[in-house]
Amino acid sequence: MLEDGKIFRGVNIGCSGETVGEVVFNTSMVGYQEILTDPSSREQIIVMTYPQIGNYGINYKDAESCRIQAGGLVVKEYFDYYSNCRAEDSLGSYLKKYNIIGLEDIDTRQLTGHIRLKGSMKGIISTETDNKDKLKEKLDSYPSIVNRDLVKDVTCSKPYVYNPERNDCKYIVLVMDFGVKKTVLDCLDREGFKLIVVPASMSSEEILKYNPDGVFLSNGPGDPSAVSYAALTIKKLIGKKPIFGICLGHQLLATALGAKTYKLKSSHHGNNSPVKNLETGKVEITSHNHSFAVDKESLKNIKGAKYKITHINLNDNTIEGLKYENINAYSVQYHPEWKSGLHESEYIFNKFAGLMKENKKI
């Protein structure tokens, strides 16, 4: 049942019970495991637009975090029988392992069309009751993701070194963990960085004690305006260290400099979104998992930083990349590291190495 009272009936997969979250549609054809375990999916009920889900099973090595982060899953046709030489488990069993509720045999095309028309909204999946009044009461009492800090639920509890066996690192990068994906850390690791991952609440003074060569602002869930403490920390780091941010990190860097964000109508979720690189003129097919965006008009409020829009979304012209030349910082809204999609945007990680190299010469 959706927030506006619209009801879809289906067949239960995974666990039984009830779950509430923001209902969003994801246009990816593959990568359901990565999507479910992405911390940016926290408290989302994910509707897969591709009709057949589960046919290649689950491989535990492909998880983006230690568990399923999404609140629920809705599909058209679920395959309990899977065919994949790497598979270790079925999707249904995986959902049950983490107590996640799902539905199949839903008209996901109609559901997606409804969300596109009306916008993303709260929803509830229930195997316990079909009483509309009871379901509506539970939905109304559940808080929106707007103005809620979801980062505190997915950030690490204490600092740690990623891949501590590395001893050939040129640069030390401090990763502010707002819900970082494993593949993001793998991409940074491949660039030859020593990665120190720290909680989102760490102060700028504590961060600077590590004396990193650069600071990376990770992806993460929810409303950036609710993570104001992180924006204040970033503001104190600006100009002191090279900074690179993606997804939520992109939004927080912009807000730290004075810009604002807003909630998208039906959000951006999928691994097939066209983004134009305004510096090269090339179009990149990219991965998205966000419900908020940087307000273009609010960029005029930025003080002390010479900004330039570097990427735009060709579907709706929202900002997908920003560069701040005089403070050694840049960011992108999309996920350049998508494991089960195209890899044509991974060059963005190499730019970070170049930024730190130039900063060392100053």
**Active-site residue numbers?**
247, 335, 337
Distance (Å, whole) CA 67 – CA 33: 10
Angle at Cα 362 formed by Cα 234 and Cα 190, nearest 5°?
65
Closest CA to 291 of 267, 315, 319: 267
Q: Counting beta carbons within 10 angstroms of the beta carbon of residue 229, is it exposed (0 to 12), middle (13 to 18) or buried (19 or more)? A: middle
**Using an 8 Å Cβ cutoff, are 40 and 220 in contact?**
yes
Place of tokens 């991974």: 346
Q: How many helices (H) and strands (E) does the chain have?
A: 9, 18
Asked whether 341 and 270 are in contact (CB, 8 A), the reply is no
User: Longest C-alpha distance within the chain, in Å?
Assistant: 67
How far is residue 206's CA from residue 208's CA, in Å, rounded to a whole number?
6
Closest CA to 188 of 202, 205, 211, 170: 170
* CB proximity list for 83: less than 8 A, separation 6 or greater: 55, 56, 57
